[in-house]
Amino acid sequence: MNDALPRTGFFRSRILTTLVLWITFPLFLLQPSQGYGASRAPVWGPRGLVATVSPAASEVGASILRQGGNAADAAVAVGFALAVTWPAAGNLGGGGFALVRSQDGKSNFIDYRETAPAAADKNFYLDAKGEIIPGASTRGFRAIATPGTVAGMALLHKKYGKLPWKKVIEPARRLAVEGFIVDQSFVSMLESHKERLEKFPVSRRIFLKNGKDLKVGDRFVQTDLGWSLTQIQKSGESAFYSGTIAKRMVAAIKKGGGVITLDDLKNYKAVERAPLEGRYKNYQILTAPPPSSGGALLLAMLGMLEKDDVQALGFGSAAYNHLLVETMKRAFADRSEWFGDPDFVQNPLKKFLAPDYLAKRRANINMSKATPSQEIKPGDFSDKESQDTTHYTIVDAQGMIISNTYTLNGSFGSGVTAEGTGILMNNEMDDFSSKPGSPNMYGLLQSDRNAIAPKKRPLSSMTPTIVLEGGKPILALGSPGGPTIINSVFQVTLNTLALGMDIQTAIDAPKLHHQWMPDRILSEPWGVNPDTKKIMQSMGHNFGDRSFHFGDVQAVLYDKERKQWSGGSDSRHGGSVAVE
């Protein structure tokens, strides 16, 4: 015992603590039985909520709502703000998908995925011997696809926004020009991708300060990006696709050996598509159609488990994990063969999502033994019919919801910042199949349907999703993480809808990932206990050597008891939910 301890005070405080515990103990008994198995409680909002990876960007969204903007205005403001405060994935030089559900009950899907430049074809990344040129589709100027983000944000604003364009761009412009104080998450993000940025002088100057690394508490000003945002604020998307920014970008890309031309930029169009719709038990699911594979796989996996009582298996048990992993393997096997840009190839969605096909897939799962991936073949529908990315979810007081996932593909994309613009460029070309049968950056095998062709959109895994019950939205979510996106969204959906977890617990609960090939399970640190792992190994499952955290889910869930929305945000990258 430490004799210097103020003993009287110490005992007094012990007595007080005991009294407080006795008095409040019955209150604990009156709380809902579950409590939070989470890093923090969900955030409730009687009006709007904004969940993003970056607290500064979440606050931008909430402040737009407070100024009378709707969820679309906030989504546009956040989209531009994340390009400043979360440059690993927030972007102007990338692309993505926005799933919209407006207060009138209508839904829409804005596809602003990047497209292949006119000069790229299916052999673009192959050498004279037909072999893949290592790194060509992932780093540097030839990895860049024609960006879609600015067109996507402009379309979202034109169709749904209430506030003037200038007003929604202003917070991002100010964050770039005046700078913001960097926190630990920001510094860690830069540290872990230093090698990528170092190779490109403009990126090195801006993000690595030519070797004088940013420290926690430093103010980070991005003058060139501030210039670009000012042009976009003044002239709209035309500044980016044909005006001053376009000219600077094309000059920088040409100098670096890339192939994107002014025509590629001028020809780029964001498009509207019907969201993919499906059901799980009593819920209606709205999610991403092709060129994403994410929505289709989500619906297929939920469909395979339609009749299972997953709660009875027990979250995290060997049987529960086994069932989920076997489901993932089967869905990803089909992904390897059947999906691509719907403007170029047919996606056999009807057959892939047919209840009898999914029931057959489910019936083929042996509950006591893992099926080796080699033995799982993609289904036969032949009679013709990325860290990365970031997601944000916004709900406003009128009930409009925007579930938006956008990306540069790899963290900091191609690593290239176009000189004079401060704009980091994507490496989305790697989401194409450079050579059918050869894995891409994420180890995904893909078919000829996803081969490169001019103006084609690469197949994506992004899965912005909105779930309705009785016609009313109750859950909206999405995640980054390449193919792990699909399984993160799948598991958080099950955690909430089938297991009844609150939104923060559902996000924090450890996740598993299997993508058919390679035949191994990825798990999160401390995510599978050793006994469970042993049981699963004895069933024939292989685990990857390393565990690491994946996904970064940002979500809102309607709280029926409180009659208001609750927001959750993966705290491991420092994300936050801001309240209107």
* Shortest distance, position 431 Cβ to ligand GLY, whole Å: 5
Pick the stretch among 30-38, 360-368, 457-465, 551-559 that binds ligand GLY (CB under 6 A). 457-465
Q: Is residue 461 within the footprint of ligand GLY (CB under 6 A)?
A: yes
* Shortest distance, position 341 Cβ to ligand GLY, whole Å: 12
Q: Is residue 91 within the footprint of ligand GLY (CB under 6 A)?
A: no
**Is-catalytic flag, 389?**
yes
Residue 248 or 391 with smaller CB distance to ligand GLY:
391
Per DSSP, which regions of 102-246 are E strands? Answer: 107-112, 180-181, 219-220
H/E stretch holding 386 reads none
**Cβ-based burial of 531 (10 A; exposed 0-12, middle 13-18, buried ≥19):** exposed
**Which of 400, 462, 474, 553 forms a contact with ligand GLY (CB under 6 A)?**
462
Residue 85 or 409 with smaller CB distance to ligand GLY:
409
Cα–Cα distances in angstroms (integers) from residue 441 to residues 138, 311, 319, 378, 461, in the given order: 8, 35, 31, 21, 13
Q: Is residue 552 within the footprint of ligand GLY (CB under 6 A)?
A: no
**Which of 460, 484, 505, 515 forms a contact with ligand GLY (CB under 6 A)?**
460
* Shortest distance, position 461 Cβ to ligand GLY, whole Å: 3
Q: Is residue 431 within the footprint of ligand GLY (CB under 6 A)?
A: yes
Q: Is residue 434 within the footprint of ligand GLY (CB under 6 A)?
A: no
112/457 Cα distance (integer angstroms): 9
* Shortest distance, position 379 Cβ to ligand GLY, whole Å: 21
Question: Per-residue x/- marks for ligand GLY, 377-416, CB under 6 A?
Answer: ---------x--x-----------------x-x-------
Pick the stretch among 235-243, 270-278, 460-468, 550-558 that binds ligand GLY (CB under 6 A). 460-468
208/381 Cα distance (integer angstroms): 49
CB 91 within 8 A of CB 426: yes
Query: How does DSSP assign 76-131, residue by residue?
Result: HHHHHHHHHH-TTT--SBSEEEEEEE-TTS-EEEEEE--B--TT--TTTTB-TTS-
Q: Which residues of 387-411 are buried (b: 16+ CB within 10 A; e: fewer)?
A: bbbbbbbbbbbebbbbbbbbbbbbb
Residue 79 or 482 with smaller CB distance to ligand GLY:
482
Residue 145 or 492 with smaller CB distance to ligand GLY:
145
* Shortest distance, position 514 Cβ to ligand GLY, whole Å: 16
CB 58 within 8 A of CB 171: no
How many residues bind to ligand GLY according to rule CB under 6 A? 9
List, in order, residues 6 or more apart from 572 with CB less than 8 Å away: 549, 552
475/559 Cα distance (integer angstroms): 10
Residues belonging to the active site:
389
Contacts with ligand GLY by CB under 6 A lie at: 386, 389, 407, 409, 431, 460-462, 482
